Amino acid sequence: MTLKTPEEYIQSIADLRLKIYIFGAEVKDYTEHPIIRPSLNCLATTYELAAMPEYQDLMLATSHLSGEKVNRFAHIHQSTEDLVKKVKMQRLLGQKTGSCFQRCVGMDALNAVYSVTYEIDQARGTDYHRKFRDYVRSIQDEDLTVDGAMTDPKGDRSLPPHKQPDPDMYVHVVERRDDGIVVRGAKAHQTGACNSHEALVMPTIAMREGDEDYALCFSTPANAEGIFYIYGRQSCDTRKLEGTELDVGNKRYGGQEALMVFEDVFVPWERVYMDGELEFSGLLVERFAGYHRQSYGGCKVGVGDVLIGAAALAAEYNGVAKASHIKDKLVEMNHLNETLYSCGIACSAEGFCTAAGNYQSDLLLSNVCKQNITRFPYEITRLAEDIAGGLMVTMPSESDFSDEKLGPIVQKYFAGSCDAPTMDRMRVLRLIENLTLGTAAVGYRTESLHGAGSPQAQRVMIARQSNMDHKKEIAKALAGVGKELPKTCPGQQEIASVAH
């Protein structure tokens, strides 16, 4: 087993010859496309840091399948320590990239499917878990990136999958053959799909009677016949086509989302890990959601660190760093960010061992973690925009700063603190714009709300996991609920005597 270098990883993605469409046209040399390349650089960082000695404790883990060191993104968690290191790794990568590094969904999918296939086998006598272990081993040995594919378009949300007017609104089986199955449909909002070697497809909701063809889990090469991608737009994405650095904000890194379409894709039986086991579809969704909601306590915190640092620099460059209200706002931003991190660490430390032997984050605390993520980054963003000032969204373009006539004028009038070069001030303001409003907002602000499920999805799980019956019982015990009162209270005679 050999770990890939960043260069080897990028070349391996180019070799897949994926069918990707942007702005209505197919992109051939997609690894060099200005809009795609920043997301590719971002994911490549997961390979880069894995090769650096100072980060290997977080970035690498010992595989329980081979005994060899593997990238943690391909690891099956063996302890609560593994779960904690996962969150710490994600914070580190958020700090290094200031964006979404796209491998978390695949890691979370691998771990969820690992435990659920074991339990299906125990209940049904199937052979899913053996096949999936072999699959995980191949991912580890080849150091591959996996896209965790869960979210279906869903169509009419009031209808179950099998009653949709268009059956393709959920990925489903259209044919079962001796050698495998044929599937059709799409997966939406696929983070890093165009930067992945493999896709691990899961059901998106708990299936019910009639949904057997939709209760489906399988893996497929990202370049399998019948798969193509429609690249998702992000705010300000065409700035990357202009060849400028200043206007982009984060000049090297970015996120990626795509619609992944399956047009009669063949999947051999060896790659099928659930086929009609309705009662386990909800369990798979629940465990994946637990892992992925835990992840947000790391990645969003790391990007939050970048935003807080940029806000502090903006305050310095604006000449207001010593103002008490600015100091207080930065304290509040750090308080909120570290609270999110505390949630990520807590649900990891309280994790439990599944029947399959891998560790699952605490489901209640994972959902509490993500519920906070739907709120706190919005306040951190508001405070950052407050500190940065209006110039963040009204400053001229890099072309104006580079112009022979206009350059000196905008340099003069947009100067801030005497100690800060104008262009440094502009660079930091563009970074804040990128993090709060631009392409990175998908990986921070907006994704904080909708990624890993909308806020209501977490509230449903919190209600389910809160064990209200236990809470009522302990309250009853302390209050003495159910006990008969004595006919004469011992202290009543004394009170009556004193009153008399």
Helix, coil or strand: residue 130: helix
Q: What is the pLDDT of residue 444?
A: 87
Residue 486 belongs to some domain of the structure: no
Inform me whether the pLDDT recorded for 241 exceeds 90: yes
Tens digits of per-residue pLDDT, 159-177? 999 999 999 999 999 999 9
Q: Do 124 and 231 belong to one domain?
A: yes
Which helix (H) or strand (E) segment holds residue 229: the answer is strand 227-231
Inform me whether the pLDDT recorded for 497 exceeds 80: no
CA distance linking residue 214 with residue 202, whole number of Å? 9
Residue 482 belongs to some domain of the structure: no
Tens digits of per-residue pLDDT, 288-300? 999 999 999 999 9
pLDDT bucket at 439, cuts 50 / 70 / 90:
confident
Q: Do 404 and 376 belong to one domain?
A: yes
Q: Do 375 and 302 belong to one domain?
A: yes
453: containing domain: 284-468
pLDDT bucket at 491, cuts 50 / 70 / 90:
low
CA distances from 431 to 39, 69, 415, 427, 438 (A): 16, 36, 17, 6, 9
Provide the CB-side half-sphere exposure for 335 (13 A, CA): 8
Q: Do 343 and 212 belong to one domain?
A: no
pLDDT bucket at 442, cuts 50 / 70 / 90:
confident
Residue 215 belongs to some domain of the structure: yes
Inform me whether the pLDDT recorded for 310 exceeds 70: yes
pLDDT bucket at 2, cuts 50 / 70 / 90:
confident
Q: Do 267 and 289 belong to one domain?
A: no
CATH code, domain with 290: 1.20.140.10
Inform me whether the pLDDT recorded for 246 exceeds 80: yes
Q: Do 267 and 342 belong to one domain?
A: no
Q: What is the pLDDT of residue 1?
A: 63
Q: Do 115 and 225 belong to one domain?
A: yes
Residue 55 belongs to some domain of the structure: yes
CA distances from 344 to 290, 296, 467 (A): 11, 7, 21
Q: How many domains does the chain have?
A: 2
Q: What is the pLDDT of residue 446?
A: 81
Inform me whether the pLDDT recorded for 496 exceeds 80: no
Residue 484 belongs to some domain of the structure: no
Of 280, 308, 325, the one marking the end of a domain is 280
Q: Do 232 and 264 belong to one domain?
A: yes
Of 251, 280, 309, the one marking the end of a domain is 280
Out of 90-94, 242-246, 327-331, 425-429, pick the least confident.
242-246
Residue 493 belongs to some domain of the structure: no
Inform me whether the pLDDT recorded for 454 exceeds 90: no
Q: Do 404 and 326 belong to one domain?
A: yes
Q: What is the pLDDT of residue 485?
A: 83
CA distance linking residue 190 with residue 106, whole number of Å? 11
Residue 406 belongs to some domain of the structure: yes
Tens digits of per-residue pLDDT, 253-302? 999 999 999 999 999 999 999 999 999 999 999 999 999 999 999 999 99
Of 246, 280, 314, the one marking the end of a domain is 280
Catalytic residues: 100, 104, 191, 257, 292, 296, 299, 447
CA distance linking residue 232 with residue 186, whole number of Å? 14
What average pLDDT does the structure give for the chain?
95
Lookup result for tokens 């990626």: 256
pLDDT bucket at 27, cuts 50 / 70 / 90:
very high
Q: Do 377 and 317 belong to one domain?
A: yes
Q: Do 314 and 266 belong to one domain?
A: no
Inform me whether the pLDDT recorded for 489 exceeds 80: no
Provide the CB-side half-sphere exposure for 62 (13 A, CA): 4
